[in-house]
Structure 1
């Protein structure tokens, strides 16, 4: 019997049949290949069919394949003022916390929206600390300001109602 999944590097299991992005770039893995919309459609279809391992590298293009993956799978270009920021960024923040994406980029946001997005990290860390006394989150950063924000999360106290709302 052939296993359909594999625990790659001790991480959550991935489907053994993945998708390689090299062919989304031009000849010799250089430059674009055709219409970017076609590449985005291919990537979205692969994920729609259950692919959980997408193999890419920054030298494909260079950087073109990774940009296409980002556009296809993490498409939050603008915040919708009618939807809470936490709702819009929540799933992306979870993926970032799991190490599946490294950064979340925002475009065309107000100062208030940016502040709320930054506070999400504090709330996420506080939530983890409240979930279990044996969880030890270890968020990494190269920024002093971000380090301060992360460590300040230890002082955030969430009520039972807030914990229920957050899940």
Structure 2
């Protein structure tokens, strides 16, 4: 009969009740310290990130199970639904004991699958107020500018973040889809605690941003960390996963976690089984050779 240790060795990771906690921790600015493997709450809405989910109870169950598995960073946005994701996060997790909720504003939704930047200061302030109501809090832990609107002076958009922070409506401020130059411009106006850019094993155009964040202690939250599921067939990740007895998604998430101490992956899913896989990635340690193989797989 195999021992528990044998089972752990064959499965490629340790058996723990709260696997996400094995990712280690990161302090967001001067605010909360979170486990580095979070959960992205975009996909719990309807098709096209529009309207309610087909199964509301299942969406709530996934959020609650994520926290049970050690996730204490939930990332959402006013535009997911719009408004739907924030309402579900509140229904599932309020009063958020020990859980940090991050949200975003700066994209309007003309319809399913459509996203338009809107960085007018009065709009961003309005959306912050609405997010406070939907989440049922007096202060948002982490409030992120979802996009820098090219039609509005960037300084005005960053200025709103500074004002909201000074007023105590938000704890920490973050940016999304920005360059190093834009981060530095923003930091001249408001302290930036996190940056959220698209980044995964095949999409690495933000390598310079990741290096900057690592050097400056800014949390880097890669969105689409498993490529919306497309990386489940990645050849190198599949081969390494087979050797460990784990899924390719677990491999690419483990690679992200080992890539930088400021990395805060936020994979999203509506499946409890996939959620369990994602969280177990935090317990998987890749060898230096495996990391090298994955590092070289960007163009494969």
User: TM-score band, normalised by the shorter chain?
Assistant: 0.3 to 0.5
Q: TM-score, normalised by structure 1?
A: 0.44
Q: Give the structure with the larger strand fraction.
A: 2
Q: Give the structure with the larger helix fraction.
A: 1
Q: TM-score, normalised by structure 2?
A: 0.26
Q: Identify the structure with bigger relative contact order (alpha carbons < 8 Å, sequence gap 6+).
A: 2
